Amino acid sequence: MYHNHHLGPCLLCNPHSYIRMVQHLIERCLLLHMSRDQCIKALAEHASIRPIVTLTVKNVGPGNRKAGSKWTQEKMYHNHHLGPCLLCNPHSYIRMVQHLIERCLLLHMSRDQCIKALAEHASIRPIVTLTVWRELQKENRHFFQAYFHSISPRPLMGSYIQRGPRFARRKHY
């Protein structure tokens, strides 16, 4: 027997399912902004997928360009639509950005922190985040006023209160 029973698809028993699984794992690597070499190494170490299989599978699938195409998230994103696309489905994309902004609000992030986080971690252009933020602010003016008040730094109240001596004698009249 060449292989044991597997928890996932097997290249020998069910090659189509195995290739689909490897494609899915490669897409996950791209979402994590991993380079080709990092992805190959991670799949070899953590999923026991041979590097030659990973290199072969990345070029299989609908809409892929020639076999020597660059390994970039942008090309894979527009071929497989891992999430909403601003060009193909702007309404869904804007809803996704709105949802991510709401998550930032739950983390008490400022507008600038939110813009930076979405740019770094979700590859959303700052102008898109800023535009959606402004529209949310227009629609929910009172919420944002309260939100900005709650996250703004407050001066220490103790410095404004003047106290008398702690153990002063009481005057008896």
Q: What pLDDT is recorded for position 99?
A: 92
Q: What pLDDT is recorded for position 97?
A: 94
In angstroms, the CA 118 to CA 128 distance is 10
Same domain, 26 and 71: yes
Same domain, 68 and 118: no
Same domain, 94 and 129: yes
pTM of the model: 0.45
Same domain, 109 and 134: yes
Which residues form the domain of 96? 90-151
Q: What pLDDT is recorded for position 157?
A: 57
Evaluated on CA atoms 81, 85, 89, 95, the torsion sign reads positive
Report if residue 166 sits inside a domain. no
Tokens 């193909």 locate to 88
Pick from 80, 113, 135: which residue ends a domain?
80
Report if residue 7 sits inside a domain. no
Same domain, 68 and 103: no
Other C-beta atoms lying within 10 Å of the C-beta of residue 123:
13
Report if residue 157 sits inside a domain. no
Q: What pLDDT is recorded for position 168?
A: 56
Q: Which DSSP letter does residue 157 get?
A: G
**What is the total count of domains within the chain?**
2
Q: What pLDDT is recorded for position 95?
A: 92
Q: Which DSSP letter does residue 100 get?
A: H
Report if residue 2 sits inside a domain. no
Report if residue 142 sits inside a domain. yes
Report if residue 137 sits inside a domain. yes
Q: One digit per residue, pLDDT tens: the chain, 173 residues? A: 344 545 667 766 777 777 888 888 888 888 888 888 888 898 888 888 888 777 776 544 444 434 444 444 444 444 444 667 777 788 889 999 999 999 999 888 999 999 999 999 888 999 999 999 999 999 999 999 888 888 887 666 555 555 555 565 666 65
Give me 22's structure tokens.
């490897």
Pick from 32, 52, 80: which residue ends a domain?
80
Report if residue 168 sits inside a domain. no
